[in-house]
Every structure is written in structure tokens, then in C-alpha cells.
Amino acid sequence: MVRNKGRKVAKRSINRRLSELERGIATGLTKAGQNQYTIANQLDCTTKTVRELQKKVKVHETLKDLPRRGRPKKTSPREDRSIKFNSLKNRKLTAKALALKRCPSFTKKRLSITTVKDRLKKVGLNGRVARKKPLLSEKNKKARFLWAKEHRDLTEEDWKKVIFSDESPFTLFQWAGKQYVRRRPGEEFLEECLNPTVKHGGGKIQVWGCFSWNGAGPMYRVKGKMDGAQYRQILKTHMAPYLADFEKEMKSEVVFQQDNDPKHTSKVVQNYLSNKHIVVLDWPSQSPDMNPIEHAWKTLKVKISERTVHAKSLDDVFDICKEEWNKLPLSFFQDLILSMPRRVKALVTARGRHTKY
């Protein structure tokens, strides 16, 4: 009771949530025969709170909070399945596109982008950046599958006798993917927080290189557009001496790998390889995932982009390529070669389709 200008009035109870201890006290008072008004007065709460607590204890036999149902879903299970079906039908449809076309088609509801994203996420259809892979025809898949089956019995010792080769472009301003920086709010346009870009990378060069179990092999800067004649000269002056030294060290025949680029399969190149009795590894078209040198090129470009001193000319680009190429540790190249049995096994499992490599 409180006084108001000399008169006594009842203290007004507040509608509040009781703690678990207070709920236990209220339950004990109820069993002791106290009425809801007395209990509410003692706990300084409303009689409605006491009634709801007594009802919950009687029905659910618990003092703890019951699981809440939350806001009702805007879509039915059938509509959720339709959202999933439409997304699977066209994997490149965005949540916005699905929402704008009033997906699912049999409902008149206007769905929000957030709702569509939530339904897709719950069935494991998350938005991700699509991987870039070469386009494979049915002929390519079949050839890759047959090649994998023919080479799946090769051991690590067999792959150690292979020289892997390829060409790759390098630009004056080398970019190796997404560039992350640490910045505070409002610093997104500070020079040190930007990733400057130039058209066409500021110019580029084409580089040929190779490696083996012995590590980094020779590197050559292609002059202009490489044709069969220039490629033959590269093999003669760079690859052949490296192969001869490698054979002496391995004390066995060494195999040379190259892809099916037209200049590699040109008549002048095939005649040279045949005359020099160089064994060439049979290679399926559209198969960069089987060539470990692709990972070596990617690592090399990352190393170049991380340098504090960058190239000022295309001549500098090639010098830096050679410097960073020769810095790559022997264990790096050997690990790539040891991955070959796993690569071939993955290709067999994929039946000639794309692999994770």
C-alpha cells in the first residue's frame, strides 16, 4: 500500500517476466493453497502472469521457457520445393531474379529477395563464384576418361621421370586474383588501400617453361607469336639439354610432356622429336587440370604480385619471372609431381569431366 494525499491505495503490480527461482516460489505457494492475488502481490507481478505460469506447469510440467514458434513462414512447403526446383533448373538465376518472377509460379505472393535466399540456403544452395574451366565436349570427356584409365596404374616413380612444360602470359602489372586489404571505415579510396588497374595489364609477354623432379627447368621468352619453327628452336636450345642432363641423373629414359596445341603437334616439331628419339607423353585435349605446371604458373604469378618492387618494362617482367621461378623450392615441384596419381584417379572418378585440380 502507498499513500496518496492521505489516502491508502493498492500498489499496482507490473507485467514482467519471472525468473526461474520466482516461478518455483509461485508454484510452491500454489501448492500451499495460496490464491493468485496473494502470489502476485508477493512476487510483485500481475495475476495474469501467475495464471499463465500455473497453466504451463499443469500442462507441460516445467518451469522453463517453452520453445517459441516465431514468426509464421511466408511460404508453404510446396512453395519452398518450387523455389528449389527453379534454382536447380537454372543455376545462374539470382535470388533477385527468382523473386521478381514471382517464383514459384503458382503463387500470387510477392516474395522478398531475403525470403528466397533463406529458402535456398536451407536446402544447401548457396551463392558462390563459378569456377572457370575449359569447355568440354563429349569427345573431350571421352578422350580424357580413356587417357585416365590408361595412366591410372602409373606410380609416383613413373611420374618422377616426366618433364612437364607449358606456356603462360605475364603482364607488366601482374594481377593474381582478389586483393584483400585492411582498412578502417572511410578509407576505401586511400591510395594504399586501392588495387590499381590498367587496360590489358600494361602489356604482356608469353613465357615457355618446364620443370621436373629436379626442380625448376629453363625458361624462355617467346618472341612475337610463337609458331612451330620457334617452338622447335625452344626444344632444341632449352628443353633438349635439360632433358639430357635429367636422364643422366635419373639413369633412365625420361618422358617429355606437352599439350595438344597446334604448334606442339606441327610436323616440324614432330619430326624433331622423332629424330632425337624423345619420348612424348600422350596427352588429352582440354586438360590443364592434369598438368601440374598450371599450379606452378599460378604460384609464380602470386609471388610476382607480392613483390614490393615491380617491373617497369616488359624486359623487367621476364627477368622477374626467371628470378621468382628459380626461387621456388624443390619440394614445391616435387609435391606437384607426387599429386599426379591423385589427379588421374580423380579424372577416372569424374569419368572425364572436370576435377578439382
Q: For all residues of the chain together, what is the average pLDDT?
A: 88
Residue 67 lies in a domain: no
d(CA 168, CA 317): 13
34 and 143 housed in the same domain: no
Residue 3 lies in a domain: no
233 and 190 housed in the same domain: yes
166 and 97 housed in the same domain: no
Determine the pLDDT at residue 14.
66
267 and 189 housed in the same domain: yes
Element spanning 255, H or E: strand 255-257
* Segments in the chain below pLDDT 50: 1-10
Q: What is the strand order of the sheet 204-212 is part of?
A: 215-221, 204-212, 162-171, 255-257, 279-280
328 and 184 housed in the same domain: yes
- The DSSP output letter for 45 is S
Q: CB of 201 within 8 A of CB of 239? A: no
86 and 29 housed in the same domain: no
Determine the pLDDT at residue 147.
97
Number of domains in the chain: 3
pLDDT, tens digit (0-9, with 9 covering 90-100), for 32-86: 999 999 999 988 889 999 999 999 998 988 888 888 777 778 888 888 888 898 8
251 and 302 housed in the same domain: yes
DSSP state string for 188-250: TTSGGG-----GGGG-EEEEEEEEETTEEEEEEE--SS--HHHHHHHIIIIIHHHHHHHHHHH
The parent domain of residue 84 ranges over 77-122
Q: CB of 56 within 8 A of CB of 27? A: no
Residue 134 lies in a domain: no
Give the CA diameter of the chain.
121
Question: 9 pairs with which residues across the strands?
Answer: 2
39 and 84 housed in the same domain: no
Q: CB of 211 within 8 A of CB of 293? A: yes
Q: pTM of the entire structure?
A: 0.73
55 and 196 housed in the same domain: no
Q: Residue 190: CB partners within 8 Å, gap ≥ 6?
A: 183
Residue 128 lies in a domain: no
Residue 35 lies in a domain: yes
Residue 357 lies in a domain: no
250 and 115 housed in the same domain: no
Residue 304 lies in a domain: yes
186 and 106 housed in the same domain: no
d(CA 179, CA 91): 27
Residue 104 lies in a domain: yes
25 and 90 housed in the same domain: no
Report the CATH number at residue 52.
Answer: 1.10.10
